[in-house]
């Protein structure tokens, strides 16, 4: 059986779906030799004969033009690639695969954010409204990364739930773990940090960073910094800056933009608290990474986040900055609670792994 993988969502600075794609491809390659991947090569740990480069013009980082070109590539170039290489089944790591054709294919759906927040994602909502329904309808099977995403697919697109299999994401357990104090100190010095609470993820509207900043302004018992790590949407970033400007926290909110992957475990390990107040997540890998680094986690009580955090996180209403501030103060001032959260977090993250996810996806492929 020849598996053709469409991994063209993988970009040079992977976040979210890119990290997912990279890890699924790497782990599938360890359990099957019969696969050919179409993607940007990046950090993929696969042989040359398992991989074919895609044009750089269709990478997500190319913006709207790249998205349009990728859509065209998916439907007018990729089908010929599949046929030429005698593919038996196609696996696409996002629901942007072949809307027409005869080859059976499986698509992975991470979330439906553009439909749930159409005012924020005006361009993406049209793809999710008109194109993705065609892809999902023709797909032989759909893999959702959480029960929450599965419910959204059923409710929004009217897909039969028997066609959808939930396969949870994993995290890189060899990379994300508690880091020794000397290494943490070096990374803190590198970014000029001392005492801080941390957010890691894109600075986008649905990530709810404005509420996090507003909550941080209300925390009176903590004098450390709020550190925000992630690439920025310029318009939204300016809105956040307007909240910070001329306030008591102006010099205590630090933006680090994109932090190299090798620095993240030490940066997370050095944080007093990891706060992730997103309004919606298909899964939420950063929660697992923080727990694996031994850092207490506060997150939202919506979408998939309680599925991921289990009993190890503190949950809040992400729309209420006062409750978020209260929870931040509660955790920071209660040492016993912190230790209990760390212990539960280290146990919770053991439930998730990329190896497990790859085996479950391979099982779906074999069923096809």
Please tell me the predicted confidence (pLDDT) of residue 204: 85
**pLDDT tens digit sequence for 273-284:** 999 999 999 999
Residue in this structure with the two tokens 């850092």, named with its chain if needed: 295
Mean pLDDT of 159-185: 96
Which of 26-35, 78-87, 92-101, 225-234 has the lowest average pLDDT?
A: 92-101
pLDDT band for 234, please (50, 70, 90 cuts): low
Tell me the whole-structure pTM to 2 decimals. Answer: 0.92
Structure tokens at 38: 């179409």
Structure tokens at 298: 């506060």
**pLDDT tens digit sequence for 35-79:** 999 998 777 888 888 999 999 999 988 888 988 899 899 988 999
Residue 158, judged by CB atoms within 10 A of its CB (0-12, 13-18, 19+), counts as exposed
Report the C-alpha dihedral over residues 113, 119, 120, 121, rounded to 10 degrees: 60
Go through the domains of the chain in sequence order and give each one's CATH number: 3-170+353-367 (3.40.50.2000), 181-351 (3.40.50.2000)
pLDDT band for 262, please (50, 70, 90 cuts): very high
- Burial state string for 193-228 with b = 16 or more CB within 10 A and e = fewer than 16: beebbbbbbbbbbbbbbbbbbbbbbebeebebbbbb
**pLDDT tens digit sequence for 125-143:** 788 888 899 999 999 999 9
Looking at the DSSP bridge assignments, the partners of residue 196 are 225
Please tell me the predicted confidence (pLDDT) of residue 5: 96
Which segments of the chain are extended strands (E)? 3-6, 35-39, 51-53, 89-92, 105-109, 141-144, 164-166, 196-200, 225-229, 253-257, 273-276, 297-300, 314-316
């Amino acid at each position: 059986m020849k598996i053709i993988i469409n991994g063209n969502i993988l970009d040079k600075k992977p976040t979210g779906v890119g990290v997912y794609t990279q890890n699924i491809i790497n782990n599938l390659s360890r359990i099957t030799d019969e696969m050919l991947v179409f993607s940007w090569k990046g950090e993929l740990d696969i042989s040359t004969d398992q991989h074919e480069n895609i044009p750089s013009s269709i990478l997500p980082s190319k913006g709207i033009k790249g998205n349009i070109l990728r859509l065209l590539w998916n439907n007018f170039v990729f089908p010929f690639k599949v046929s030429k290489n005698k593919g038996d089944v196609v696996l696409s790591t996002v629901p942007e695969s072949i809307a027409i054709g005869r080859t059976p294919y499986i698509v992975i759906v991470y979330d439906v954010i553009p439909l749930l927040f159409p005012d924020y994602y005006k361009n993406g909502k049209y793809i999710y409204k008109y194109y993705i329904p065609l892809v999902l309808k023709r797909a032989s099977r759909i893999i959702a990364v959480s029960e929450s995403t599965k419910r959204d697919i059923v409710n929004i697109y009217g897909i039969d739930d028997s066609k959808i299999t939930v396969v949870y994401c994993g995290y890189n357990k060899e990379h994300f773990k508690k880091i020794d104090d000397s290494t943490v100190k070096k990374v803190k010095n590198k970014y000029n940090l001392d005492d801080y609470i941390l957010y890691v993820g894109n600075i986008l509207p649905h990530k709810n960073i404005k509420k996090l900043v507003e909550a941080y302004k209300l925390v009176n018992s903590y004098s450390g910094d709020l550190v925000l790590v992630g690439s920025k949407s310029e318009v939204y970033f300016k809105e956040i800056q307007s909240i910070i400007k001329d306030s008591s926290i102006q010099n205590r909110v630090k933006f680090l933009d994109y932090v190299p992957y090798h620095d993240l475990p030490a940066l997370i390990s050095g944080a007093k608290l990891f706060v992730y107040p997103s309004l919606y997540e298909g899964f939420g890998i950063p929660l697992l990474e923080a727990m694996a680094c031994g850092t207490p986690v506060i997150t939202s009580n919506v979408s998939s986040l309680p599925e991921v955090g289990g009993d190890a996180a503190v949950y809040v209403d992400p729309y209420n900055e006062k409750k978020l501030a209260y929870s931040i103060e509660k955790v920071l001032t209660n040492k016993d609670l912190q230790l209990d959260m760390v212990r539960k977090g280290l146990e919770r993250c053991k439930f998730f792994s990329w190896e497990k996810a790859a085996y479950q996806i391979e099982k779906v492929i074999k069923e096809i």
